[in-house]
Chains A and B, each alone.
Chain A
Amino acid sequence: MKKFLLRQCLAVLPILLGVTLITFFLLQLAAEDAADMLYRQYGAVSEAVKAQTRAQLGLDRPLYVQYFSWLLHLLSGNAGYSYISGLPVSSIFWERLPTTLFLAAASLLAALCISLPAGFYCALRHNKKADYLLQLFSFGGSSMPGFLLALLLIYFFSVRLQAAAVLSSSGSLTAFVLPVITLTVPIAAKYTRYIRGEVLRELQQPYVYGALLRGIPKNIILKQYVLHAISLNMLTVTAMSAGSLLGGTAIIESIFMLDGIGRLTVEAIVMKDYPVLQACVIWSTLIFILVNLAAELLCSRLDPRNSIFSQERL
């Protein structure tokens, strides 16, 4: 077990290294380098001055030297400074993180609260009217573009009914209602379908028939056996969604003007604030990897077969 834990943690390292490598070299694609960006606000600056700054910043060194020195700085916690505000990038990032984390957690929780009962209900009413209706909803929900849903919600609740503020002062919970609904709908839709399938498959298992024949009430079978059986897969799926929520809320945060990571990324792109962009990509990827690792370890703890048979995994 310990060996397995260690191996899983070690397996993450080359991926992390690769992520930093890709992120670093991605920025080399940009047309302007740091010297250009620093002198942007001063208008025309002679190339000689820029060359001097490049030498000071170490931009004239070979790329791999720059990469390793950047990596060392990153490991020591110094990810660079914003071109625009001059603040350390990591402090900007950590300041924005809670909003995104809250958005992700709230919408995941809401999605689970909706989709678990809905999925079970669909599976039990398999191929009946209610099942078809819920399936239709979940099909529509998963095909809905996030930004269209956001604008629809704003149109109906804020413009027509004037029930919810489009922009509340940041920090107030009402500002989060519409964005959380927007993020919840597609996830809940996807999960409902997924849980329906999982429950249906689980109900085919011999142990369910065994339990039924032993006279165990149906709701106990569902609550204790089936729910436990599908919870492992749900954990993995939820971890995946948490990741895509970390990296995929850019549009929703931009529409609702929430100060989260997604909007920070978009702002960094628009302002060409590359150190901030770099930090956003690296840190959110790191969090995603850690969340997945935690889910995997938890899975193996809950179901030892995962670690025993992992030798055979491809």
Chain B
Amino acid sequence: MISQKTTFLRAILPVLLLLALSAAGTWAAPHDPFHQQLQQALLPPGDEYICGTDRYGRCVFCRVLAGAPLSVLTALSLTIAASLIGTTAGIYGGYYHGSVADKFLLHLTNIVLAFPGMMLALAIAGIAGGGMLTAAAALLCSSWAPYARLARRQVITIRHAPYIEAARLCGCTDTEILFRYLLPIAVKPVLIMAAANIGTMLLALAGLSFLGLGAQPPAAEWGSMISSSRSLLQVAPWTVFTPGCALFIAVCCFNFSGNALHDLLEPEHNNFLKERTYD
């Protein structure tokens, strides 16, 4: 049986590592990620440049490092923002179940969830014009809804639980009940969902950048780096696969943490599976 502490460490370590790397970012880079030297263009990986250079002679490894804050921190803060907005809307709607505001929020949630995949984010980012800020706004607009639905369901199921009624009889105001009794219940599943979604958010952000709707060159965002050096696949595959691997590793780290956090917060889910065998 793995102890809770190990699970927690397992959840937090990869993400801490990633965050440290993103915080180090440009500072840890051996070369200037934006310095162009055309005579050094398209050098294969070697001693001087660990992952080679791109078409402008910039160090690919340094650019990946410099892009880490942009890619990782944006995805992280977007997920936090989306889950906060969604949870607030969900808890509010669930608590005032049946009110006009609840109905409005419920319909809005359903409508946003009705758009398939990245369609809504694509359309918003496309119409508002490219750029990291609009891409982030587009993703925020389309990703808060699942949290709202989840939080609303949680709140509705416990809204009339005896201890909530008791709190109300004791004279607690609505705000107190919302924050002290309902929020902690709704937070756990939302946290699990958010942790599982950071990787998806990272991929969506990189995807928008890849299509030219996110970060614009010369910004060192991983998706736009892959997109701009896509034509060099034949001559200089390292310019494509270094940022690609970085993205893959980052998504793996977040997904791994998400799984571990799930195990930590809902251990009964796994324990009962582990105890039985079927032979």
Contacts and interface: CB of A to CB of B under 8 A. Distances in A.
Interface of A: 14-15, 18-19, 22-23, 26-27, 29-31, 124, 126-127, 139-140, 142-148, 151-152, 154-155, 159, 200-201, 203-204, 243-248, 250-251, 254-255, 265-266, 268-270, 274, 277, 280-281, 284-285, 287-289, 314
Contacts of B156: 314
B251 to A, nearest CB: 4
B234 A277 contact: no
Interface residues of B, number: 53
A285 B115 contact: yes
Contact of B117 (A23, A27, A245): A245
Interface of B: 107-108, 110-111, 114-120, 122-124, 126-129, 152-153, 156-157, 199, 203, 206-207, 210-213, 223, 226-227, 230, 233-234, 237, 240-241, 244-245, 247-248, 251-252, 255-256, 272-274, 276-278
Secondary structure call for the A interface: helix
Contacts of B233: 151, 154-155, 159
Given A14-B107, A18-B111, A204-B272, A277 B123 contact: yes
B115 A247 contact: yes
A146 B120 contact: no
Given A143-B251, A145-B248, A251-B210, A152 B241 contact: yes
Nearest to B274: A127
A59 to B, nearest CB: 17
15 contacts: A29-B124, A145-B206, A147-B206, A151-B230, A151-B244, A154-B233, A155-B237, A203-B278, A243-B116, A265-B126, A285-B114, A287-B116, A289-B114, A314-B156, A314-B157
Contacts of B119: 246-248, 265, 280-281, 284-285
A274 B120 CA distance: 14
Given A145-B203, A145-B207, A269-B213, A288 B107 contact: no
Given A15-B111, A26-B124, A159-B234, A148 B212 contact: no
Contact of B153 (A26, A254, A314): A314
Given A146-B203, A148-B226, A251-B210, 9 more contacts: A18-B110, A22-B111, A147-B206, A154-B233, A155-B233, A247-B115, A265-B126, A277-B127, A284-B119
Q: 3 tightest CB-CB pairs across the interface, nearest first?
A: A269-B126, A247-B117, A248-B117
A281 B126 CA distance: 12
Contact of A281 (B123, B207, B210): B123
A288 B116 contact: yes
A146 to B, nearest CB: 7
Contacts of A147: 206-207, 210, 223, 226-227, 244
Contact of A288 (B114, B207, B230): B114
Contact of B252 (A14, A143, A280): A143
Contacts of B248: 143-145, 148
Contacts of B152: 314
Contacts of B256: 139
Contacts of B114: 15, 18-19, 285, 288-289
Contacts of A244: 116-118
Nearest to A159: B234
